[in-house]
Structure 1
Amino acid sequence: MAAHPKYGRRNFLLNSAKLLAGSELALISLDPLPDHDSNSETKPSTETTKNSFSAIKQVNAGVLNVGYAEEGPANGPVVLLLHGWPYDIHTYVDVTPVLVSKGYRVIVPYLRGYGSTGFLSSETIRNGQQSALAADIIALMDALKIRKAIVGGCDWGARTANIIAILWPERVKAMVSVSGYLVANRKQANIPLVPSAELQWWYQYYFATERGKAGYEKYTGEFAKLIWQIASPKWNFDDSTFTRSAAAFNNPDHVSIVIHNYRWRLGLAEGEKKYDELEARLAETPLITVPSITLEGDANGAPHPPEGSYAKKFTGKYNHKTITGGIGHNLPQEAPKAFADAVIEVDSY
């Protein structure tokens, strides 16, 4: 795999991204969700946060050597925070100190294909299917001798948190999930939507082609920045904030994992047989029984289900909150206090 380009050298596509994000592509977001329990936030910062993770640790877990940030007391209640695409652990860089101040032990791993997380064997399939990512986190918990944790996630991380809560509920004390219930169903994925809805998934169709794979590999940073702008149209992040996260995409397996993830969802790529039983269980779209809070931003420009479509999937103690103030898809980084408050609240359920 060719090395990824340095992001500062291709300003022409970044300028195009700004224009697209400000015009018709920014209009693909769904209507704001019902405000069951609003929690107002100040408008997103335009400056890089001063917070940072003190160090990145590494541990062998399952098929991976996992890179992860860990903050807080070693004997504190554990909170596992999971990032999505195209983001990284800095999604939670401002959430973490809030939780640490309350005595939590916070662990934020790089998912497979991101940052310093790598495969232990060159022979392992670079598999991005949903159950594989969830199994990675269970392996990480085993490696760190964590019996049970509060799990929180956004985007891929929310889907992974959902799956862990479904398949291994005994390992989950409670959950915070941005955009609700996100378990992928490949049969439903083959049902055509109306054209305006299909437009929202343009990048998945692009990734289904070899041109798309080559394009993502060549323009990884530019592509990611475009997604940030579309998914969070009111988040005025600066270049330093983006560049800090974009470094995680230099992982040699990143493109392979991303492309396989989206092709697998559309039924265009096979998973591994060892996950077949897990996927069969997930195909039934099971209920989530652990205490849960779902969150949604009022300016989420990415495809996301309305809260009313998934509320009944949560049968334990449950609450939904719509976070106002121009909050987009990367909610924990755009509204860190609201996310941290939800973790603390769900821990009390």
Structure 2
Amino acid sequence: MSEKINYQRRRFLGTAAMTIATTQLGIFGSAIAQSSKTKPAVLSTTKPGTNKSFGSLKQIDAGVLNVGYAEAGRANGNPVILLHGWPYDIHSYVDVAPLLASAGYRVIVPYLRGYGMTRFLSSKTFRNGQQSAIAVPTITLEGDANGAPHPDASTYARKFLGKYAHRVINGGIGHNLPQEAPREFAKAVIEVDGY
């Protein structure tokens, strides 16, 4: 027997789970016990709108696309992929990228297909209008990757991250519990997005 998925209920339950879990993580000021050997992550405080742009942008050939992207942080840091949605672009993350980089992450913010410097390599490439089609020919990273897409990019993020899709925080709230992502990652997304 097949059951139709109720996406509104799923969003509501995801939001409720996010609220409960963030309270447990201490993001909203709840008291939590920690080992005396563990030091909490310290993020620099940045007011939204402080940063206006990324440094120099990079290009990479990825399948049928030449993808433009911004990168910040340590080259050997745990990668975090920040995906914009329509009608936004990579500058949606101009404030959060430095926070994540200061926490030791390698931050990658690609322009999705049809935005910025991302272009098809051939004029003969079939175009179908689905943002999820960028999932196959995108930047490949070794090891674990975390993602924080805008809601429009969530389908793409799940396809791109594959077996790591449970690590996606969808615009600060979503279907996935935040304890599945590192604490400072969730805190940075929530701090900048205001969730």
Aligned-CA RMSD value: 3.5
Q: Is the 8 A contact 2:154 2:170 kept in 1?
A: yes
User: CA–CA distance in 2 between the matches of 1:317 and 1:59?
Assistant: 30
Q: Secondary structure at the match of 2:98?
A: helix
Q: Is the 8 A contact 2:112 2:131 kept in 1?
A: no
Could you tell me how far 1:335 is from its partner in structure 2? 4.5
Identity value in percent: 45
User: CA–CA distance in 1 between the matches of 2:61 and 2:116?
Assistant: 15
**Closer/same/farther in 2, CA of residues 146 and 125 from structure 1, 3 Å limit:** same
User: CA–CA distance in 2 between the matches of 1:132 and 1:176?
Assistant: 20
Q: Secondary structure at the match of 1:107?
A: strand
Aligned partner of 1:176 in structure 2 is 169
Q: Which amino acid aligns with 1:293?
A: L
Per-residue deviation, residues 202-245 of structure 1 (Å, max 9, x unmatched): xxxxxxxxxxxxxxxxxxxxxxxxxxxxxxxxxxxxxxxxxxxx
Please list every run of 5 or more consecutive structure 1 residues that lacks an aligned counterpart in the other structure.
1-30, 182-291, 295-315, 319-331, 340-349
Could you tell me how far 1:52 is from its partner in structure 2? 2.6
Could you tell me how far 1:174 is from its partner in structure 2? 2.2
Q: How many residues align?
A: 154
Please list every run of 5 or more consecutive structure 2 residues that lacks an aligned counterpart in the other structure.
1-11, 29-46, 182-188
Q: Secondary structure at the match of 2:169?
A: strand
Aligned partner of 1:101 in structure 2 is 102
**Closer/same/farther in 2, CA of residues 122 and 77 from structure 1, 3 Å limit:** same
Residues 1-349 of structure 1 mapped to structure 2, 5 A cutoff: 34=16, 35-36=19-20, 37=22, 48-136=49-137, 139-141=138-140, 145-165=141-161, 168-169=162-163, 174-178=167-171, 179-181=173-175, 292-293=176-177, 317=180, 335-336=191-192
Q: Secondary structure at the match of 2:142?
A: coil
Could you tell me how far 1:156 is from its partner in structure 2? 1.9
Q: TM-score, normalised by structure 2?
A: 0.64
User: CA–CA distance in 1 between the matches of 2:106 and 2:194?
Assistant: 18
Per-residue deviation, residues 157-195 of structure 1 (Å, max 9, x unmatched): 222223334xx20x56822123525xxxxxxxxxxxxxx
Q: Which amino acid aligns with 1:72?
A: G
User: CA–CA distance in 1 between the matches of 2:49 and 2:105?
Assistant: 24
